[in-house]
Amino acid sequence: MTHRATAETGGPDDGTGPGDGSAGGRAPVRRPAPETSRTGLSTAEVAERVARGEVNDVPVRSSRSTAEIVRANVLTRFNAIIGVLFAIILVIGPIQDGLFGFVIVANTGIGIVQELRAKKTLDRLAVIGEARPTVRRDGAAVEIPTGEVVLDDVIEVGSGDKIIVDGEALEADGLEIDESLLTGEADPVLKKPGDPVMSGSFVVAGSGAFTATKVGREAYAARLAEEASRFTLVHSELRTGISRILKYVTWMMVPTALGLILSHLLTLRLPIDEAIRRMVAGIVPMIPEGLVLLTSVAFAIGVIRLGRKQCLVQELPAIEGLARVDVVCLDKTGTLTEGGMDVRELRPLPGTEEAHVRRVLAALAAGDPRPNASLQAIVDAFPATDTAWRTAAFLPFSSARKYSGGVLTAPDGAPATWLLGAPDVLLPSGDRHLAEIDALNAQGLRVLLLAATDRDLEDPEVARQVRPTALVVLEQRLRPDAADTLRYFADQGVQAKVISGDNAVSVGAVAATLGLPGADAPVDARELPADPAAMATALDSGSVFGRVTPGQKRDMVTALQSGGHNVAMTGDGVNDVLALKDADIGVAMGAGSEATRAVAQIVLLDNSFATLPSVVAEGRRVIGNITRVATLFLTKTVYSVLLAILVACWQIPYPYLPRHLTLLSTLTIGVPAFFLALAPNSERARPHFVRRVMRYAIPSGLITGTAAFATYLLARSYYTGPDALPAETSAATLTLFLAALWVLAIIARPYTWWRVALVLVMALGFLVVLVTPWLQRFFDLRLVGTTMPWAAVAVAAVAAVLLEVTWRWVGRRFPA
């Protein structure tokens, strides 16, 4: 008969044994709690503290505030520059030369609206994923929101719980707290009644309670939460690259503006209003203003899309980061398998009665107040019905130790010490029972050994020379979507490494069932070299690693990173926290421990490993599409700089008015970029964003700008008279539009029906302007005759050929 059980927290154990934790070395023996326990605050006492403001009222900030969003999108360097230029045009007129100002307003508005939508999604998901601590009120243990904890509250904690406020330990039953995120010390700290506990740390073993001594902004957790829980702009290659580009553009703008205004006023002696308009026309297109906004919009929409799939992105660039990883380290329990486990079989060893074993298991399991997946399965399979058996002492499970234990008092009053844990840890090498256990592990089953010992439970050598009594065979529930997810990563060129505390053969069997390449050669982590370089080599050649300690998980992540890999780590137990913290991207399960959720950048609230491909796909969509549209924006920047330089050298008027370049930017960049930035894109993310963008933008901008200037020179020699400048400008505008449209046609590849339609609609929009009289007057575009317009088309055709040749040559000469 198969006994079913489901862990309360989704099974945050990664070792073979009935519990969870990352404590190393010896843990204290847990004695039963006294019968009398503190009742906590009364309702009246809570009300008094709330009235005095002694409440943990630090707001959960999963995103920027509305004011911050508006300020960040409006008060930018380039909006300030554009705003000044727009104000100048409003003064000297006409209004159509100030259209670029309205475009900035529209783009900024889109950025604000999209980020507010993302904020709404983040805030909603943060509330869903927020932990609810257990406090004692009026003598009863109740769960309340973190923000309702008050000073002097008695807060109960157990393995995996995060300490949310500063306090003083009140009860400690083998309570071990990891303070590594605060102090850097990896070893857990044993807490006794009266010892201080710091917010931001988390419980790795045992249980207990503490009294809140600092709440709200006075608690250390508040300072951590202000920085760690809110919207943050962590390292992002996209953002860093765009910032670098904008810095270079800023340096070029000032001398260019001075050169244009002085040239038009002093050399050409144009009227001051005309000189200013031509200067503004030369400066505005240099600014890739929409690029920053589109990047924010793309990230924000990614958050919204993932939010609908119950994926909480705690840091927006994490979407980009996961798309760049080439190694995903997976914790088997809770990731490849579901948290619940079943007792498949109980095998008493020779000389042992099954009924006696059942009573021992029932009593031992009942001694842990917070059973996890393994022990919960035993609790459900062997309920403690014999009250004559009781637990006199209990040794909590540790992922480093791989076993737990207890001193049981039988009905006859004779105490006996029992251990329950990993057979290959409790039994010596070569033991005759290991062959049977290996055969079970090879089937993907988890095996626990129940053993008796004559040593005291507090003896450091308690696990030596034990007497094996029975094997408890557990089966794990495979996630139905795990195989497809592993297949997806393999198809995308991302290596999957299963890193587990379980027996290596058992983990390999599970991974092989799911079709993971290399699962047939599992590696026991106890045999891995300590040297980081040698470990990195071993990790590159293997796919499945068992018997990994929490410290080793962290070392393995570091070793992979030292080999040039971008590493993502998934996990749900406290033994995964250190590795999650050090990985490039940490992914936690929503039903896992609060500690893992606190340090991860991405939280899968529905506990579905199958959501990860969606995150990778969103990241690739953002990176690939922003790279596309960045090429469009920076091509405009390059040809604008080139035209300004050529005009200054030839000492002739700048060929365009601001309205002309606003029209061209809208049709060849602004509108198309918006659609391209949000389109599906499965291209694998590649590094060196700036180099990859500029290798196309520079030659494209030079060719486009040269073609437009050549047409302008031809038109100046062809047209004569006082009204020649508008005709010259119109011919140059036609060439510039056609060349820029060809750049768009190249960027839009590979073609789909909507991409082709997008290019054609933009061409049609320009044609409508050319044939509609009132639009001709509005934009001051008027093609005169047929010779020069056709010459402009011919120049654009030559530019298109050069763009094609250059595009292909650059792709071969400077591969991505």
Q: Rounded mean pLDDT of 423-452?
A: 85
pLDDT level of residue 698 (50, 70, 90 thresholds): very high
776-801 pLDDT, tens digit per residue, is 888 888 888 889 999 999 999 999 99
**Domains along the sequence of the chain with CATH:** 235-303+616-813 (1.20.1110.10), 309-336+479-611 (3.40.50.1000)
pTM, rounded to two decimals: 0.64
Residue 796's contacts (CB-CB under 8 Å, 6 or more residues apart) are 707, 711, 734, 735, 738, 739, 742
Of residues 14, 331, 368, 502, which has the active-site annotation?
A: 331
- Determine the 3-state secondary structure of 271 from DSSP: coil
- Euclidean distance between CA atoms 173 and 394, whole angstroms: 9
> Which tokens sit at 773?
């009289």
207 vs 410 pLDDT, higher one? 207
237: three-class secondary structure by DSSP:
helix
554 versus 235: which is more confidently predicted? 554
Rg (CA), the chain: 34
CB 595 within 8 A of CB 160: yes
- Cα 124 to Cα 122: distance, rounded to the nearest angstrom: 5
Q: What pLDDT was estimated at residue 798?
A: 96
| Catalytic residue flag (residue 14) | no
Average pLDDT over residues 450-473: 86
CA–CA dist 345, 333 (Å, integer):
20
If you search the block for the tokens 């509305």, which residue do you land on? Answer: 66
* Cα–Cα distance list, 33 to 170, 450, 549 (Å): 12, 25, 30
What DSSP character marks residue 670? I
Q: What is the pLDDT of residues 705-763, one digit of tens each?
A: 999 999 999 999 998 877 788 889 999 999 999 999 999 999 998 889 999 999 999 99
Q: Give tens-digit pLDDT for 730-744.
A: 999 999 999 999 999
**Tokens 């993302």 belong to residue:** 118
